[in-house]
Chain A
Amino acid sequence: MTESKLSAAVATPDHVPASLVYDFDYYHDPALCADPHMRVMDLLKSAPPIFWTPRNNGHWVLAGHSANFEAARDVEAFSSEIFPRDQMAELLAQLEETMGRIPLAVPINLDPPMHTKYRQPLQKVFSPKTINALSGSIRALAVELIDEIVDKGQCEFMTAMAEPLPVQVFLKMLGLPLERLAEYRELVSEHLSSVDSSNAILTMQKVVAAMRDTIIERRDNPQDDILSMLWKVEIDGAPVSLEDMENYAILLFIAGLDTVMQGMGHGFRHLALNPDLQDELRAEPEKIKQASEEMLRRYTFTVPPRRVSRDMEFQGVSMKKDERALLYLPAADLDAREFAEPDSFNMSRERAHIAFNAGPHRCLGSHLARVELQIVYEEFLARMPKFKLDPKRPPTFHGGHVLGVDTLHLVWEV
């Protein structure tokens, strides 16, 4: 990363005191891209718990745990509708004139009560009960992927495990044809490289186009899958439309694949760096559940955006209507005011983290993510010998709304 990749710094608004300004480009900060959570630890030491950065058009960053916890639960003050509703409608109408229909990741980008109406139908499908029933087939998929690499002595973990497993689970749950796995993996990789760029809309349209046939087919011939189930729900007393279905499909695609994938990436890098922890978990696999939970806290990786909905004082900081604020959850879960010795990996912590956010936007897929992560840790540790980072190819990372792992080369003896 070079200085030139940083976005231009804009002038600080008058109501923001100099003491709250801290220069942080959440996409391209060089230290963040070199080792994300190391930089997050440093951020907590060197920046105020709520600060203003002049990068990326200027915005607030909520770094402290208390700021994140309060803002995440105060959905009236901190809106998930990143543009006010009328502006958004205008913007969409303009874009759609040239681009055609643009799918929206409903309801992640809506405030209650609309959020509740669109989220309610999804709750049962992603409840712990429904998800636990899938664990057998998730385990079988994980074992299959591990069998393919176990004799090779090395792998690039992201492409060998972290990406294909969630994609296959996604296809299975939605009822999408497994023989099109390659096509969907291609779309995921396109999504990852276009995310937050102007190509992102085109990718979303391609994803919807890839699913449309199956979506329509399930309306006419329902089966035992999510798409068929969603056709049966009503939103506000009206049956779902094809557009609603496409929006749901996009939500599940962008929220369900990139995220759990990065969780695995961070977790396996930690394991590769800590052979003693590998030994401990191999000897006592019943500890993996707690280990998996502590990985989520230690390497919280999502950064949800919010819009300040009115002029207000928030925890002593004056904010103005329509300013942007990032819930910097990776920092919240590494805040020493909340978690003693936050950078140490401690499986016996009982205090709950907010890796899946707090408040009504709590990650809908959290139960699925937990099951996928736990199973991958269990099966990988049970089937693989001690693994470490490939000294010749150190891992690479990225910033943005999901702190992620680009590549993670692992080696082991065969």
Chain B
Amino acid sequence: MKIRIDKSACVGNARCANISEELFPLDDDGYIKVTEVDVPPGMEQLAKRGARACPERVIHIIEE
């Protein structure tokens, strides 16, 4: 599973990081730092919850 993030559309809600700081690292301004993350085994549910928590809906889960 992969997470793909439309980083330019992030407005710094930081709700994803509230679910998992490991999967969704933020920069010093509180905006998402990454555009793509390989989800480690066992963290699939957190990844999905993080995506659903985004008010901007810019986090997409790619099932492989």
Q: Which positions in A face B, CB cutoff 8 Å?
A: 73, 120, 123-124, 126-129, 350-354, 356, 358-360, 362, 366-367
Contact = CB atoms under 8 A, between A and B. Distances in A.
Contacts of A366: 13
A356 B14 CA distance: 12
Contacts of B28: 124, 127, 129
A123 B14 CA distance: 12
A358 B11 contact: yes
B17 interface: yes
B13 A356 contact: yes
A128 B11 contact: no
Interface size class of B (residues with CB under 8 A): 10 to 19
30 contacts: A123-B12, A123-B31, A124-B28, A126-B30, A127-B12, A127-B14, A127-B29, A127-B30, A128-B17, A128-B18, A128-B26, A128-B30, A129-B26, A129-B28, A350-B52, A352-B15, A352-B55, A352-B57, A356-B13, A358-B11, A358-B55, A358-B56, A359-B11, A360-B11, A362-B11, A362-B13, A362-B55, A366-B13, A367-B14, A367-B30
Nearest to B55: A352
B55 A353 contact: yes
A354 B49 contact: no
Interface string B13-57: 111011000000010111100000000000000000100111111
Contacts of A73: 56
Nearest to B49: A350
A353 to B, nearest CB: 7
A128 B31 CA distance: 10
Contacts of A359: 11, 56
B30 A352 contact: no
Contacts of B52: 350-352
Contacts of A358: 11, 55-56
Interface of B is mostly: loop
Contact of A352 (B11, B12, B29, B53): B53
A311 B31 CA distance: 34
A129 B30 contact: yes
A124 B29 CA distance: 4
A71 to B, nearest CB: 14
B7 to A, nearest CB: 14
B54 to A, nearest CB: 6
A294 to B, nearest CB: 13
Given A123-B30, A124-B29, A350 B53 contact: yes
Nearest to A127: B30
Q: Which of B31, B52, B55 is the most central at the interface, judged by chain A CB atoms within 10 Å of its CB? A: B55
A133 B53 CA distance: 23
B14 A128 contact: yes
Given A128-B26, A367-B30, A356 B55 contact: yes
What are the 3 A-B residue pairs with the smallest beta carbon separation, nearest first? A127-B30, A123-B29, A352-B55
Nearest to B9: A73
Contacts of A354: 55
Contacts of B31: 123
Contacts of A127: 12, 14, 26, 28-30
Contacts of B54: 352
Contacts of A123: 12, 29-31
A128 B18 CA distance: 10
A123 B11 CA distance: 10
Nearest to B17: A128
Contacts of B11: 358-360, 362
A362 B11 CA distance: 7
A280 to B, nearest CB: 21
B62 to A, nearest CB: 19
A120 B31 CA distance: 12
Nearest to B26: A128
B24 to A, nearest CB: 11
A128 B57 CA distance: 20
Contacts of B56: 73, 358-359
Contacts of B15: 352
B13 to A, nearest CB: 6
Given A127-B26, A362-B11, 5 more contacts: A129-B26, A358-B55, A358-B56, A360-B11, A367-B14
B43 to A, nearest CB: 16
Contacts of A128: 14, 17-18, 26, 30
